[in-house]
Amino acid sequence: MVSFSAVAKRYRGGEEALKEVTFSVEPGELVFITGRSGAGKSTLLKLIPAIERPSSGAVIVNGQNVGALKGSAIPYLRRNLGLVFQDQKLLYDRSVFENVMLPLAFSTHSTNEASRRARAALDKVGLLARERSNPIQLSGGEQQRLAIARAVVNRPSILIADEPTANLDAESARRIVDIFVEFNQVGVTVLIATHDQGLVTQYGKRLLHLEGGRVQ
């Protein structure tokens, strides 16, 4: 489903953020990517939706070599992925509901069907009652759940989350991870980057530990 072989990533003017990274994730798996700050977790996740391109090696997603993908093919790659970003990237000039509607704008659903799906996604993360609020009125944990709702609204086969529990107390953090586990239980492949090893070990899932850009 997702596989890296001998992937290196060097940012322009920087050191190598990833070195010789090789691993693969099977369909339906849930993998936690752990490591200290600067270990390369975000870099690894950004290679999957081609936000960054590998300097060498191959990143294969759903059978496609992402590094070799033409620019015009990238949007279609991203539509099959659900992305939750470290800084959430919510739009604060519109409502919670409209934030979740965003990815549906370029799907082929009718407006009614799109609204129905958006509400279903909000319901899954427990935010349906807040659909008219502005994201700025939500707590950190709620904003994170909103970001998740937006990521899953198009029912992607792969869900990728970068530090979804950052800045949350243990209770809210667990609630967030629980949501991902629920999606995983219905067959979605999930990759979650986190520096909070204590939180994730209790789930008994596969851990991919990064140190200095290498998989340990």
Ligand X SMILES: Nc1ncnc2c1ncn2[C@@H]1O[C@H](COP(=O)(O)OP(=O)(O)OP(=O)(O)O)[C@@H](O)[C@H]1O
Instruction: Provide, rounded to whole angstroms, the least separation between the CB of residue 130 and Mg ion.
Output: 27
Among 2, 7, 17, 121, binds ligand X (CB under 6 A): 17
Residues 6+ apart with CB under 8 A from 112: none
Q: Which is nearer to ligand X, 122 or 200 (CB)?
A: 200
Of the listed pieces 39-47, 103-111, 128-136, 171-179, which binds Mg ion according to CB under 5 A?
39-47
SS3 content of the chain, % helix, strand, coil (to 5): 40, 25, 35
Token readout for 186 is: 């219905």
Binding residues (CB under 8 A) for another protein: these are 49, 51-52, 71-72, 75-79, 83, 85, 89, 91, 93, 102-103, 105-106, 108, 150
Among 5, 19, 38, 74, binds ligand X (CB under 6 A): 38
CB of 145 to another protein, least distance (A): 17
Beta carbons of 168 and 91 less than 8 angstroms apart = no
- Single out the segment in contact with ligand X by CB under 6 A; choices: 30-38, 121-129, 133-141, 149-157: 30-38
